[in-house]
């Protein structure tokens, strides 16, 4: 059932959203699932937010505050229930040069402008472009995500004490077998608690969350960037703000679509888009580094923990703040091995194993496999999901244009008299198919009068009009007359350009 009410204005909170939260509040079982899911996500957010802060070149609290403000804000204004937003690696890569060259204040100004751009693009209908993302790109996106999540755990398994490996093994065993017996408490939370207790009581010297960076000891405060409000500042931050807006929107909308598929529900992509913009503005005003949808944490929330409402997203942000500010000393002792085990299982569960089954690959068209492969390869090589998706869509466009271009046929269907030949043109006429159109007529042997019937064809661009002009010119140079008939209204509209495209030059 759709999560959007058709009688409401686009972007308005849907009745189903409100009822889902109300239902969760009335159901102790559902409320427990949502709250525990939020706690698990909060624990998983901490090391990642710290890591992304280091990647961006800022203090860990900048990433942690971004994770808190993004999660809380998007839980209220976002269009996809149960999706987690926070500081991400993709955004960190975009804004890192700003920090390096100009400092924190310019970073915050960039985040604020990026949020405004996201709001403007979303209200202008950018979210509707998601319909042009093919399924092969989505599958590639999911598989690349799984690979990146797994690769991100590898550094935590290199040059570490030997005890880390059995800890990860025990964590994986609990994650695999516990859900078969009980789902009362999320398996990831059980793993984190058990391994933390074990390492503390045994005194094991293993890498912990505290080793990733210092946790903040105070609440986030209002932050106005100390930058000149002039065109020079705009010139500096605008390219990075636009990059932040595009990467953030793309990753967030792709993640929303993924959650739609997992939960078999629909989400308001336009609302999610401007919601991301609002969240980035709020985050910037509290000194955060900006962010977007966090795919790994969303998978923990939705797929592993079973969350389905905004409560889990809100409590993830709230628990995060409580944990890092109020219980920082306890959180700092969580072994990284526990979080590594959780993320490995997330990567395994995220991977679309059916798509890489040899039998599936043999049955799928080459184009579908190639599009998926390109999406995965570019994403893994660049560590940027946005680059992979854009490349995958471009690859799909090339395959589509190539396939459609072969559907065009030119057939001589009639000779009403000795001096007349009628050609029927069938198919989609655009730049890829019309280039060869010129070579499918017999200019030398055809009679004096040639009729080209476009009743079964459709003109889609000026390249086709130019090709038709070239055909008419070639016949004219042979002293023959051409009449084009059968055009529908859109095709006739395009053909009004005839004679103005330089075909005779």
How far is the C-alpha of 404 from the C-alpha of 407, rounded, in Å?
5
Rg (CA), the chain: 29
What's the gap between Cα 449 and its chain centre?
55
Residue 271 scores a pLDDT above 70: yes
**Residue 124 burial (CB count, 10 A):** 11
Q: In the structure, what pLDDT confidence band is assigned to residue 319 with cuts at 50, 70 and 90? A: very high
Q: List, for residues 389-423, the tens digit of each pLDDT value.
A: 889 999 999 998 888 777 788 999 988 998 999 99
Q: For residues 161 and 205, is the Cβ–Cβ distance under 8 A?
A: yes
Provide the pLDDT confidence category of residue 195 given band limits of 50, 70 and 90.
very high
Question: CA nearest 133: which of 403, 404, 389?
Answer: 389
Give the Å distances, CA to CA, from 165 to 178, 188, 193, 338, 472. 20, 17, 17, 11, 75
Give the closest residue to 171 by CA, choosing from 163, 161, 182.
Answer: 163
Return the closest-CA partner of residue 204 out of 248, 167, 156, 179: 167
What one-character-per-residue DSSP string does 44-111 give? HHHHHHHHHHHHHTS-HHHHHHHHHHHHHHHHHH-SSTT--EE--HHHHHHHHHHHHHH-HHHHHHHH
Q: Identify the pLDDT of residue 315.
A: 95
Q: Which two tokens stand for residue 208?
A: 């912990």
Classify residue 334 by its DSSP letter. Answer: S
Which has more confidence, 177 or 403?
177
* pTM for the whole structure: 0.73
pLDDT at 295: 84
Residues 303, 30, 282, CA angle at the centre, nearest 5°?
70
Contact 136, 400 (CB under 8 A): no
Q: How far apart are CA 213 and CA 59, in angstroms?
A: 9
SS3 436: coil
Q: Which two tokens stand for residue 251?
A: 């990753």
Number of helices (H) and strands (E) in the chain: give both, helices first: 20, 6
Which strand (E) or helix (H) includes residue 119?
Answer: helix 104-123
pLDDT at 134: 87
DSSP label of 208: B
Instruction: Tell me the average pLDDT across 199-212.
Output: 90
Contact status, residue 210 vs residue 196, Cβ threshold 8 Å: no
CB 385 within 8 A of CB 251: yes
Q: Note whether 87 and 289 are within 8 A (CB).
A: yes
Q: How far apart are CA 352 and CA 258, in angstroms?
A: 12
Residue 243 has pLDDT above 90, yes or no: no
| pLDDT tens per residue across span 61-92 | 899 999 999 999 999 999 999 999 999 888 88
Beta 481-485 vs 85-86: how paired, if at all? unpaired
Residue position matching structure tokens 């009009």 = 465
* pLDDT tier at 339, thresholds 50, 70, 90: confident
**Residue 110: how many other CB atoms lie within 10 Å:** 32
From residue 381, alpha-carbon distances to 48, 253, 274, 385 in Å are 20, 22, 30, 10
Q: What is the pLDDT of residue 483?
A: 94
54-58, 220-224, 233-237, 313-317: the lowest-pLDDT one: 54-58
Residue 120, both tokens: 């403007």
Q: 């992304």: which residue's tokens?
A: 52
Q: What pLDDT digit, counting tens, does each position of 96-123 carry?
A: 889 989 999 999 999 999 999 999 999 9
**Residue 481, SS3?**
strand
Burial profile 436-454: b = 16 or more Cβ within 10 angstroms, e = fewer: ebbeebeeeebeebbbbbb
Give how far Cα 341 sits from Cα of 156, 166, 171, 403, 414, Å. 11, 11, 6, 44, 72
Q: Distance (Å, rounded) from C-alpha 352 to C-alpha 355?
A: 6
Residue 13: how many CB atoms within 10 A of its CB?
16
DSSP label of 184: S
In sequence order, which ranges of 264-384 are alpha helices (DSSP H)?
Answer: 269-285, 295-299, 310-321, 328-331, 336-350, 358-363, 366-382
Of 40 and 24, the structure prediction assigns the larger pLDDT to 40
| pLDDT at residue 478 tops 50 | yes
Is pLDDT of 341 > 70?
yes
């Amino acid at each position: 059932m759709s999560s959007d009410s058709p009688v409401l204005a686009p972007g308005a909170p849907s009745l189903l959203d409100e009822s889902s939260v109300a239902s969760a509040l009335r159901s102790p079982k559902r409320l427990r699932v949502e709250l525990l899911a939020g706690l698990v996500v909060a624990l998983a957010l901490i090391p990642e937010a710290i890591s992304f802060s280091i990647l961006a070149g800022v203090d860990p609290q900048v990433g942690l505050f971004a994770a808190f403000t993004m999660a809380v804000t998007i839980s209220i204004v976002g269009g996809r229930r149960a999706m987690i937003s926070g500081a991400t690696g993709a955004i960190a890569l975009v804004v890192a040069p700003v920090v390096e060259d100009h400092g924190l204040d310019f970073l915050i100004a960039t985040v604020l402008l990026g949020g405004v751009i996201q709001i403007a693009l979303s209200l202008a209908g950018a979210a509707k472009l998601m319909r042009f993302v093919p399924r092969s790109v989505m599958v590639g996106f999911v598989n690349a995500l799984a690979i990146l999540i797994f690769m991100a755990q590898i550094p935590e398994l290199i040059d570490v004490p030997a005890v880390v490996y059995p800890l990860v093994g025990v964590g994986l065993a609990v994650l695999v077998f516990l859900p078969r017996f009980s789902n009362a408490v999320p398996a990831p939370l059980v793993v984190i608690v058990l391994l933390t207790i074990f390492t503390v009581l045994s005194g094991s010297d293993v890498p912990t969350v505290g080793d990733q960076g210092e946790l903040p000891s105070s609440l986030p405060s209002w932050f106005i960037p100390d930058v000149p409000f002039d065109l020079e500042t705009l010139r500096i931050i605008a390219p990075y703000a636009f990059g932040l807006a595009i990467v953030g929107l793309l990753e967030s909308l792709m993640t929303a679509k993924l959650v739609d598929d997992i939960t078999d529900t629909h989400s308001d992509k336009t609302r999610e888009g401007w919601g991301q913009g609002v969240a980035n503005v709020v985050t910037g005003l509290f000194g955060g580094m900006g962010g977007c949808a966090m795919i790994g944490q969303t998978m923990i929330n939705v797929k592993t923990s079973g969350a389905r409402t905004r409560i889990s997203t809100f409590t993830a942000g709230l628990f995060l703040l409580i944990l890092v500010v109020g219980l920082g000393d306890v959180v700092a002792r969580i072994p990284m091995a526990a979080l590594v085990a959780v993320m490995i299982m997330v990567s395994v569960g995220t991977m679309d194993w059916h798509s890489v089954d040899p039998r599936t690959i043999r049955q799928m068209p080459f184009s579908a496999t190639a599009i998926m492969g390109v999406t995965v390869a570019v994403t893994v090589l660049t560590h940027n999901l946005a680059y992979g998706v854009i490349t995958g869509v471009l690859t799909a466009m090339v395959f589509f244009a190539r396939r459609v271009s072969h559907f065009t046929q030119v057939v001589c269907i009639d000779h009403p008299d000795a001096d007349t030949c009628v050609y029927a043109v069938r198919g989609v006429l655009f730049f890829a198919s019309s280039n060869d159109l010129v070579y499918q007529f017999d200019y030398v042997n055809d009679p004096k009068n040639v009729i080209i019937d476009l009743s079964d064809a459709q003109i889609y661009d000026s390249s086709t009009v130019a090709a038709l002009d070239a055909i008419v010119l070639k016949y004219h140079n042979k002293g023959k007359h051409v009449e084009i008939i059968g055009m529908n209204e859109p095709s006739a509209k395009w053909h009004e350009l005839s004679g103005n495209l330089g075909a005779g030059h």
